[in-house]
Amino acid sequence: MKRWPLQQAWFWERAPFFRLLLPLIAGILLYDNIISSLNYTPILLLAITAGISFAIASLMPSQKTVFWYLRFGTLHIALISAAWLLCYHNDVRQDERYFNQSKSLAYIARITTPPVEKEKTWKLKTEVIGTTDGTGSTTGDAFVYIYKNKLPLLFSQGDTIIVPAKWQTIQTRGNPFEFDYAAYCNRHNIYFQQFLASDEVVLYNTASQKDISWVQRLHNKTVGILEQYIKDEKVAGLMQAMLVGEEANLDADIRQAYTETGIIHIIAISGSHISFFFIIIAFLLGWIKHKKWKWVKYIAAIPLVWLYVAMSGAPPSAVRAALMFSILGIGFALGKQSHSLNHLFATAFILLCAEPMWLYAIGFQLSFIAVLSLILFYRPIYKWHVPVNRIARLLWQVAAASIAAEVLVAPLVVYYFHLFPLSFIVANVAAYLFMGLALIAGMLLVACSAIQPVAAAIGEGITYIVSVFNKWVYTLQEFNPLSFSFLQINMVELLLLYLIITGVAIYAMQQKKVALYTALLSAIIFLVSLNINEWNALHQQRLIVYNMGKTNHIELIQGKRYSVLHTDTSLDERKKNYVLKPAHTGYSAWRKGNIVKNDIVHINGKTVLILNNKPATNEPFQIDCVIINYKADAEDLQNIKTAFSPQQIVLGNNIPRNQTSALVEQTQHIGINLWAVSRKGAFVL
């Protein structure tokens, strides 16, 4: 094996897992985009052939260029094919036992997580384990929603229930720029759901404690302790999320405030939690002084860290952090020199081999990019200024880490969350101190839960500390300009931003002019793209009928402003904003325009009529599009067609889904072009 000074080696020679990670990612992307056009057997044969060819080429003389290209090509083909095969085996749809392939009238399903309370339903995540007619074992996860009907839920985690075969494909509501919930579920191997009345679900078997894993029981017990001794629901929900990753009770306003101030990462269990957890373990083992036995701290911490990750539900960010800690810990215990970049790429490689669809998880991407940014930029930024005072030096270390992480994380945050927190440095310094204090207090509360007076006192202390910190976060949230919460970049612009950052960083560290020229060219293209987007936004005209529950909301977008044409005032504003904010951000039209009260709107050369009641058909005239805002029937649709001869009729959400389906079938026979928002998603003209 050749030896060289590490500072003179190529980047991929010092971090060989980087070369393995790229083809693995390429194979995952290949599977996700062209799965239907490929078969398993040819890909398997390709992987085997490429692997054998690589092994043969590796035995050939390395000096010849042709063999170098052969090794390079066959290795990448083998890895891409292997990644495709991994995705295939992780896809539940490829399993012959997948319940969707069964024709049973009813299924036996096990509730795998604690039920989550929604406004009108209880959400149950279930694992289908069989059929009632004995046609064989089945498998697959699905969601079951049970309507409340003012009755308490009779089921709990671990119970087995019988549900009818009323499966519906999980679909998005089709609103502009809305989060693709269907794709999110699909990448977690969940494709179906059903909505049932309480009397349509039968309890098959009640779970005992032994039916629930001891890790899950420990998780549930911790959540219960926090609920028992922290009386403030918002504080309890935040502590549950921070300590054991239980986000079901996390308040939406708190989540938004933490997101807009750039400290949402302290809620998701990730590297900072694992590091702090190790600090506690190291402190407890502080009596080990001799260097010869320091490895014991790392070996003892590894299983405890994984136990903590399992208790938190094993989210991608926590698993990534625990795996990287394990690799580093074993390396330190063996006295091996560490190379952080290679460890990071190795961790990502192992995780994606275990669960390929984690590539699309925002948490996985953010945690990986944050650690990568810290490795690359922390030391150069810290060297800008080294305070003499110990406390000032500690605060500067936290601030430098915050700046370093933000270098590569910021573009991704803008791309996914459309915001940039200006106060992230100040917020992160305080957040890390708060997180440490909150985690210690939470662990003490769990440890002292058997002593009720002590636990109650700790719970009161946690409530006070968290409440004070939350008030400070809300105050800090107000300093962020409103426009910084509606930022929008596309994938090309995201890549250009990373090219700019990479070019500037390489030039600053290695003085390579080519990198600077690349950054300047990327910046010019980026600015041109932003100007084109701005011109398009200023000249746009759109009419949107949103798919928003059982109500209608219609908006007119002109330039960079929106006007509400019709809305349901009884609908909660937070629910409206959940649907409207992505559209306003995506269209760069988040400023409110003039009030429009007309029922007839002219847009892009077309005339649109909004009907809130049955039309008076004695004065027919030509209309291009009719939007129905009342409970119409087939006769109404026929009268509208006769009176206005519209090219398009849009049916809002006022009508129940079963009646909508009947209307769609009836209108197909009489030649009416009907767009049912509840079935096709939002209508955009």
DSSP state, residue 251 = -
Torsion of CA 568, 570, 571, 573, to 10 degrees: 100
pLDDT tens-digit map of 184-202: 888 888 999 998 888 888 8
- 2: how many CB neighbours lie within 10 A of its CB? 5
What's the confidence (pLDDT) of residue 532? Answer: 93
Quick one: three-class SS letters along 615-638? CCCCCCCCCCEEEECCCCCHHHHH
What's the confidence (pLDDT) of residue 636? Answer: 77
Let me know: does 111 contact 157? Beta carbons within 8 Å.
yes
- Low-confidence residues of the chain: pLDDT under 70: 1-13, 35-38, 61-64, 135-136, 150-152, 211, 283, 285-295, 313, 316-317, 331-338, 616-620, 656-658, 670
- pTM assigned to the model: 0.84
Let me know: does 48 contact 10? Beta carbons within 8 Å.
no
Let me know: does 254 contact 470? Beta carbons within 8 Å.
yes
| CATH class in words for 99-212 | mainly beta
Q: Looking at the DSSP assignment, which residues form a beta bridge with residue 601?
A: 608
What's the confidence (pLDDT) of residue 1? Answer: 41
Let me know: does 562 contact 581? Beta carbons within 8 Å.
no
Beta-carbon contacts of 589 under 8 Å, excluding residues fewer than 6 positions away, are 537, 540, 557, 559, 560, 561, 562
B/e letters for 151-183, b = 16+ CB within 10 Å, e = fewer, are eeeebebbbbbbbeeebeebebbbbbebeeeee
The domain locations on the chain are 6-90, 99-212, 218-262+421-488, 267-360, 491-538, 541-684
- Angle CA(428)–CA(434)–CA(436) in degrees, nearest 5? 105
Let me know: does 612 contact 605? Beta carbons within 8 Å.
no
